[in-house]
Structure 1
Amino acid sequence: MASALTDKLSRLVKDLRGQGRITESNVTDMLREVRMALLEADVALPVVRDFIARVKEKALGQEVLGSLQPGQVLVSIVNRELSATMGEGVSDINLAAQPPAVILMAGLQGAGKTTTTAKLAKHLIEKRKKKVLTVSGDVYRPAAIEQLKTVTAQAGAEWFPSTPDQNPVDIGRAALDYAKKHFFDVLLVDTAGRLAIDEALMLEIKNLHAALNPVETLFVVDAMQGQDAVNTAKAFKEALPLTGIILTKTDGDSRGGAALSVRQITGAPIKFAGTSEKLDGLEVFDAERHAGRILGMGDIVALVEQVTAGVDIEAAKKLADKVKSGAGFDLNDFLAQIQQMKQMGGLSSLMDKLPAAMAAKAGQVDMDKAEKDIKRKEGIIHSMTPLERRKPELIKATRKRRIAAGAGVHVQEVNRMLKEFEQMQEMMKKMKGGGMMKLMKRLGGMKGMPKMPF
């Protein structure tokens, strides 16, 4: 996330920490660098000016000048003001309404509204234990209604049918009536987007808002739009009483300007950030933690949450008990450990949350190559028979050739994977349970898989 901005600010943070004395001159030099970094990251000019003015005022105050470690204090000021620009801490979604709580999803076409609606449904079901209904008011885009039906099913929510010949307001009212009669906690309304802001879109969504009186009106914006995100946010804010923002595609944003701009331009808090294309790739937005990521300080809390959520504790316990009993570690177990890594959200997603120095070190390994290697290992094991997975010692030359052909790899790669399995098997013999994290460290130490610095 925001790699270019993070790189520049991380270097500044490192330089500042070593400053034994802070003067108006080096503060000015530092702020010039920060200003350039923010502008290059596509942060809106008014936001940059306001941010620089606030940092300068505090940096030249007694808090810094009277400190024994002025460099450290200055870094904390930059961090604090970055956080303040994006909104203090966490702004929770408001569900304090007579059920069903109606949430209206607004934004331009291509921002990811439909997928984000399903992600939010999954979040509300799993984290808030809510019964969720979704409905599509997008009667213009081909297959939009079917797309919502598909992703809603994947999220575990219920979908209310609509057709392209209906009026969006009629659709919304019918869905709300159904939600009331069937005791749903939340109704998520996916609205139509356009390729650009136009009067027809704004009038339609105003009418829908008036008819449904939503408790939350969330503006879904593509983080990769940069300056354009600010312009569309401003237009939607003028048309609707926005209560929050969801930033999508933050995993592909190399600039990061949208996160710093939309909060201040609209006055609406950022409530969620889309971190991947998967349906569980939606994070509650925490301004302080996000500021830490931008400054290269990482987000260890999010990293621990991601790893903990991805680890199947029950499966880990069963494996530990199996090894303790002397039953042995077979290729089915090896495959399960590889799949645990994938459930954590992928290696690159984990690296994104590490502090810059650790991530840079880990980044010496090509993440894409490492993830492809994991998929290759899965393919090889899936090409084996159940008996071969249970008894790897049966796999000799003829079987290796068949497995390699089935997986679309060379025999050498089958040999390499089996050697790594044997190394893991040996480790498991020595482990007395040891816990999943201990196992993951060892898994990460194998060839082709970056060592996880936990």
Structure 2
Amino acid sequence: MFDALSDRLESAWKKLRGQDKISQSNIQDALREVRRALLEADVNLQVVKDFINDVETKAQGAEVISGVKPDQQFIKIVYDELLAVMGEENVPLAQAYNAPTVVLMAGLQGTGKTTATAKLALHLRKINRTCMMVATDVYRPAAIDQLITLGKQIDVPVFDMGSDGNPVEIARQGVERAKAEGIDTVIVDTAGRLFIDADMMAELASIKETVKPDEVLLVVDAMTGQEAASLTRTFHEQIGITGAILTKMDGDSRGGAALSVRRISGQPIKFIGVGEKVEALQPFYPDRMASRILGMGDVLTLVEKAQEEIDLADAEKMQEKILSAKFDFTDFLKQLRLLKNMGSLGGIMKMLPGMGKISDDQLKQGEVQLKRCEAMINSMTPKERRDPDLLASSPSRRRRVAGGSGYKEPDVSKLVSDFQRMRSMMQQMGQGNFPGMPGGMFGGMGGGMPDPYAAGGRPAAPGWRGYNGGAAAGKKKQKKDKKKKGFGTL
């Protein structure tokens, strides 16, 4: 997602490199590239026009900051405007003063509405809000069964009255049941259609009038691009929405929906779906999304994903092992499995600043190399995992591991030697020394990984270089944020 948009925007920054200042004449080519980038991302045409006009006005009136290059300053202006389009900050889900809080889910068929209902229920359960889901989609075959199955998977109750019930009555009784049982939040899954029709809107309006929801969330398929804008406008005008959930944001969507929905409806995007798994729902943070669009990564989301998987006590023990050079293959295997639980390697790498340019081939090679490492470690004895030096000094042990994992002895030898170098390097880093990164453990990704701070690479971004004290300050801020959040070893 957003790869094509990011590439196009980078072309815009190049138009200003080498310039002494921002002027009316030298920003026109950059603005033309930004306009083309947004149109190719399938952003609503009126949103594009307003965006370009606002950026042009702000760029012409911008005071040149000492020590900041014009292309860096232009990026900051575009970043600020992206925030203005998507919303300045995350808007949390409403919570009614008198329980239960009622959330009405609306949208067309095929947008992932039922799955989004379960994802939202799980998200709320993780923050200690009790939930009940109400199945009112009596038209789509197996819709009720799907919600019941998802409910069992996430341990959230589902209220239904079968496929013969009246949707409005099902919603009313579901809310009453939740109130009687002291449930904190009720999420009502409504029926969708392949297209907007009068009957669907009338039914939604009746359910809304009956249960008086605190939130009406429109579930929008991010793949629909400009269609998302017209869909949002129609639902908002006829039903009145309070927010949106964008699904399929992990797919090949070009990003147009994320930049159109809020500007068209005036209502915030509250969550985004980033995968098929029921855990794959994230609160929407406009500043983080803007950073990802501009190739700055999304370290905060990466930290939060890690926090969900990391036990702080284990992280402290791991840190002690690293500092004392006692980090072994068992620890490394635990870290690999933690990485898997956090998502795909590609998804994680692209959250790191400057890593958006890694090619799919490089990421695939990296995935293959991780699997090779795991297979060889799994073929070691517990004693060999605890003491890698045993393998380093014994060719017969290496041959046995190679045979058990399906690889060759040189592969095992390389794994052991690379691991020992990495362990030594990690110990030195813990002592304040920063030696060069060895090329080996993830050699499948090779030296092809781009350096985010390399000369001629992606231009500086707010808070990394050119802003907030330059690269050193940016790195110090990352370290401080990680320490503050209790971020463990990865």
Q: TM-score, normalised by structure 2?
A: 0.78
SS, match of residue 158 in structure 2: strand
Distance (whole Å) between structure 1 residues aligned to residue 247 and residue 195 of structure 2: 18
SS, match of residue 178 in structure 1: helix
Given that residues 22 and 64 in structure 1 are in contact (C-alpha distance below 8 angstroms), is that contact kept between their aligned partners in structure 2? no
Let me know the Cα RMSD of the aligned residues: 3.5
Which residue is 1:97 aligned to?
Answer: 97
Which residue is 1:119 aligned to?
Answer: 119
Which residue is 2:464 aligned to?
Answer: none
Distance 1:434-1:120 versus aligned 2 partners, 3 A rule: farther
| Aligned ranges 1:342-357 → 2 under 5 Å | 342-355=340-353, 357=354
Note the C-alpha offset of 1:14: 4.5
Which amino acid in 1 is paired with 2:370? I
| Aligned ranges 1:146-225 → 2 under 5 Å | 146-225=145-224
314-323 or 211-220, which moves further after superposition? 314-323
Note the C-alpha offset of 1:262: 1.1
Given that residues 292 and 298 in structure 1 are in contact (C-alpha distance below 8 angstroms), is that contact kept between their aligned partners in structure 2? yes
SS, match of residue 250 in structure 1: coil
Structure 2, gaps ≥5 residues long = 452-477, 479-490
SS, match of residue 24 in structure 1: coil
Which residue is 1:53 aligned to?
Answer: 53
42-51 or 303-312, which moves further after superposition? 303-312
Note the C-alpha offset of 1:420: 2.1
1:247-281 CA-to-partner distances (Å, cap 9, x unmatched) read: 11112134111111111111211111122223332
1:125-170 CA-to-partner distances (Å, cap 9, x unmatched) read: 22x3211111221222222222222333333433334421222112
Distance 1:251-1:30 versus aligned 2 partners, 3 A rule: same
Distance (whole Å) between structure 1 residues aligned to residue 143 and residue 413 of structure 2: 46
Note the C-alpha offset of 1:107: 1.0
Which residue is 1:10 aligned to?
Answer: 10
Which residue is 2:419 aligned to?
Answer: 424
Distance (whole Å) between structure 2 residues aligned to residue 364 and residue 122 of structure 1: 31
| Aligned ranges 1:232-243 → 2 under 5 Å | 232-243=231-242
Distance (whole Å) between structure 1 residues aligned to residue 307 and residue 54 of structure 2: 38
SS, match of residue 217 in structure 1: strand
Given that residues 306 and 342 in structure 2 are in contact (C-alpha distance below 8 angstroms), is that contact kept between their aligned partners in structure 1? yes
Given that residues 13 and 295 in structure 1 are in contact (C-alpha distance below 8 angstroms), is that contact kept between their aligned partners in structure 2? no
| Aligned ranges 1:315-330 → 2 under 5 Å | 315-318=314-317
142-151 or 418-427, which moves further after superposition? 418-427
Which amino acid in 2 is paired with 1:49? K
Given that residues 9 and 34 in structure 1 are in contact (C-alpha distance below 8 angstroms), is that contact kept between their aligned partners in structure 2? yes
Aligned residues: 438
Which residue is 2:336 aligned to?
Answer: 338
SS, match of residue 374 in structure 1: helix
1:14-73 CA-to-partner distances (Å, cap 9, x unmatched) read: 443643122222222222221111111111111111111212222222x34797755443
1:197-228 CA-to-partner distances (Å, cap 9, x unmatched) read: 12221111111111111101111111111122
Which residue is 2:461 aligned to?
Answer: none
Identify the structure with the greater helix proportion. 1
Given that residues 86 and 263 in structure 1 are in contact (C-alpha distance below 8 angstroms), is that contact kept between their aligned partners in structure 2? yes
Structure 1, gaps ≥5 residues long = 405-409
Distance (whole Å) between structure 2 residues aligned to residue 377 and residue 144 of structure 1: 42
Distance (whole Å) between structure 1 residues aligned to residue 212 and residue 64 of structure 2: 51
Which residue is 1:359 aligned to?
Answer: 356
Which residue is 2:109 aligned to?
Answer: 109
364-373 or 276-285, which moves further after superposition? 364-373
- The reply to whether residue 446 of structure 1 matches residue 442 of structure 2 is yes
- The reply to whether residue 137 of structure 1 matches residue 103 of structure 2 is no
SS, match of residue 271 in structure 2: strand
Which residue is 2:468 aligned to?
Answer: none
168-177 or 70-79, which moves further after superposition? 70-79
Which amino acid in 2 is paired with 1:209? K
Q: TM-score, normalised by structure 1?
A: 0.83
Distance (whole Å) between structure 2 residues aligned to residue 306 and residue 111 of structure 1: 25
